[in-house]
Structure 1
Amino acid sequence: MPGLDLGQFKALLVCPVLGQLGLGGNAAFNLLTGTALVESGLVWLRQNGGGPALGLWQMEPATHDDIWRNFLRFRPDLASAVRQMGGSGAGVGRADLLVGNLAYACAMARVAYVRAPGKLPMATDSAGLSAYHKQFYNTALGAADAQRNEPLFARAIAA
């Protein structure tokens, strides 16, 4: 299945976005790259099968809105940095930006992980990153399988 080049995706999108947010580091770069691979295969901008998830990180609008309402609202500096990723205009902060604005979608996925209580696994721990994704991004009720997705996180690490 065609998709984005993983090395370019990581180097030209994920790393710069997380760096601009001040939320980078190799573990975060690999986690966000692996998450996009698991969630969308770097192909789908809307959830396959008609679900509500949007963008390469497949964030649901309800999650997006909750991040703004209950997290970013209380962190004005981080909120400002995320808004800059969204560009200017009345649409900044709307969930539909997750589809067409890759930098904004990446920033929002990283913020979703910032809310997680667990410490990031080591940057080279593909099994740990996959388990972290399952626990804190996909959740217990989600369809992700940490063991099955571990090779995708290994690809993200190698990119």
Structure 2
Amino acid sequence: MSVCTGLDISQLKHEIIAPTLQAIALDGPAAVNLVTGIALAESRAAYLRQFNGPALGLWQMEPATHDDCWTNFLNSTAQSVLRGRIEGLLSPEPRLTQLVSNLRYACAMARVRLFRAPAPLPVATDAAALSAYHKQFYNSVLGAANAGSNRVLFQAAIDAT
């Protein structure tokens, strides 16, 4: 089944996501497929701002989530190395603005959000598990994502070569 998206899924996966996750040392097949699938599930890899909501970027991260990642995780002494890697992706403009304008930064922040989840990443090739993980640890119970119907998007992420 073909998935209609804004960006070419293979290019997004291999030109943005995989190198970004490698640069912040939070890569691996499961992470790459999960972050790719999240871009598809959250914005169809097309929309940079949520309609009728505050979420920003392809990964549709809300400002409060972004700020929490910095305040309660990246700014801790224990995360100084990861913080330095993330800061290396930044341009001079405000960080929050870069969720829209800087694909590598937005991708890295999505991975930081997932890195904070209490459960290990699912198997890289299990679309249903990746979709369920997205719903539980990225989108939330209150979010609009549907793990069952989004499975096809995570399969497209897995299949993107």
* CA distance in 1 between partners of 2:41 and 2:16 (Å): 17
* CA distance in 1 between partners of 2:158 and 2:62 (Å): 25
* CA distance in 1 between partners of 2:54 and 2:13 (Å): 25
Specify the SS of the correspondent of 2:14: helix
Q: Greater shift after overlay, 121-130 or 1-10?
A: 1-10
Residue 55 in structure 1 maps to residue 57 in structure 2: yes
Q: Partner of 1:43 in structure 2?
A: 46
Q: Partner of 2:151 in structure 1?
A: 150
Q: Output the TM-score relative to the length of structure 2.
A: 0.94
Aligned residue pairs total 155
Counterpart of 1:157 in structure 2: which amino acid?
Answer: I
Q: Partner of 1:32 in structure 2?
A: 35
Residue 3 in structure 1 maps to residue 6 in structure 2: yes
Residue 19 in structure 1 maps to residue 8 in structure 2: no
Specify the SS of the correspondent of 1:82: helix
Instruction: Say what the alpha-carbon RMSD is for the aligned residues.
Output: 1.0
Q: Partner of 1:68 in structure 2?
A: 70
Specify the SS of the correspondent of 1:85: coil
Counterpart of 1:77 in structure 2: which amino acid?
Answer: V
* CA distance in 2 between partners of 1:146 and 1:83 (Å): 32
Higher RCO (C-alpha 8 Å, min separation 6): 2
Q: CA deviation at 1:95?
A: 1.2
Q: Residues 96 and 38 of structure 1: is their aligned pair in 2 closer, same or farther, counting only changes over 3 Å?
A: same
Counterpart of 2:35 in structure 1: which amino acid?
Answer: L
Residue 78 in structure 1 maps to residue 82 in structure 2: yes
Q: Residues 97 and 30 of structure 1: is their aligned pair in 2 closer, same or farther, counting only changes over 3 Å?
A: same
- Give runs of ≥4 in structure 1 deviating > 2 Å: none
Q: Output the TM-score relative to the length of structure 1.
A: 0.95
Q: CA deviation at 1:85?
A: 1.0
Counterpart of 2:61 in structure 1: which amino acid?
Answer: M
Specify the SS of the correspondent of 1:123: coil
What stretches of structure 2 of length at least 5 have no aligned partner?
A: none
Q: Greater shift after overlay, 1-10 or 21-30?
A: 1-10
